[in-house]
Each structure stands twice: as C-alpha cells, then as structure tokens.
Structure 1
Amino acid sequence: MITALEIIVVILALLIIGVVVAQKSKTQGMGAGFGGGAEDLFGSRARGMDALLSKLTIVLSIAFAICTLLLGRLMHTF
C-alpha cells in the first residue's frame, strides 16, 4: 500500500509540474497593475484551455495533498 501511494504521489507531482508549466502567465510584471494591463489583471476571466488547466491544477493539488497525508499517516511520520 505504501509503495502504491509513493508511486501515485510521484505521478501527481509530475502532473502538477506539467500543468503549471503549461499555463499562461497571468501577470506581465510589476508595471501591469499601474499601466494598461490593469484590466487584464483584475477584470479578466480564464477561458478555454486556461480555465481547464486552472481547474486541473486545483484537482491535482487536492489529490496530491490527500495522498501525501495518507502516506505520512501510514508511515507514522506525523
């Protein structure tokens, strides 16, 4: 059981890294809040692939946290 959870945690970690890297940057630097990029920073909503990647990041992160807590409990490390 512990080995299976370790493999799942590694796979989830790699998937989270891939999904986060695939996302488009939401800010354009320090000047985005002061210049013309303010509407992009505060008023835009993610659409299409950005929304899917954002939701997938949340789901994978929750699954990763749960598996990590289960693994820690099974290994008696906390």
Structure 2
Amino acid sequence: MELALTVLLVIVCISLITVVLLQPGKSSGLSGAIGGGSEQLFGKQKIRGSELFLHRATVILSLLFFIIMLTLTYLKI
C-alpha cells in the first residue's frame, strides 16, 4: 500500500510540475500591474481553451498531492 502510494505521489508530482510549467505567465510587466491588473483581480478576463484545462488540471493534481501526502503521513505513524 505504501509503495503504491509513493509511486502514485511521484507520478502526481511530475505531472503537477509539468502542468504548472506549461501555463502561460499572467503578468505583463509593470505596465500590466498599473493599467490592467484590476481586470484580473475582478475577474473580467475569462479563462478559455487550453488555459482552462491547465488551470483545472493544476487544481486537481494539487488536491491529489495533498491527499496522498496526508495518507502517507497517516500510514507512517
């Protein structure tokens, strides 16, 4: 059980790193922070297409990471 969770954790970690690195940067430098930063803050820009998929994958993989780590910690005690 512990070995299977450890292997699954490694797979989730590699997937999470890959998904995070594939996401485009959201900042557009200093001009974006002054002029267009409020648009992202109040949600006027909608996420579409591959960005939506990458965002959802990041959330799901991070939740899996958290749950697997808690389970492994509980099994080690």
Q: Same fold (TM over 0.5)?
A: yes
SS of residue matched to 1:34: helix
Gaps of 5+ in 1: none
Deviation at 1:31, TM superposition (A): 3.2
Cα deviation per residue 1:35-63 (whole Å; 9 max; x = unaligned)?
Answer: 3x446634211100000100010001001
Where does 1:36-55 land on structure 2 (aligned, <5 Å)? 37-38=36-37, 41-42=40-41, 43-55=44-56
Q: CA RMSD in A?
A: 1.5
Unpaired runs of 5+ in structure 2? Answer: none
User: Aligned pair count?
Assistant: 75
- Tell me the equivalent position of 1:3: 3
What TM-score do you get using the length of structure 2 for normalisation?
A: 0.86
Q: Determine the C-alpha separation between the residues in 1 that align with 2:72 and 2:47.
A: 34
TM-score, normalising length from structure 1?
Answer: 0.85
Q: 1:40 to 1:27 in 2, by over 3 A?
A: farther
Structure 2 distance, partners of 1:18, 1:69, is 22
CA distance in 2, matches of 1:75, 1:26: 39
Q: Percent identity?
A: 32
Whose helix fraction is larger, Structure 1's or Structure 2's?
Answer: 2
Moved over 2 A (4+): 37-43
Structure-2 separation of matches of 1:45 and 1:67: 31
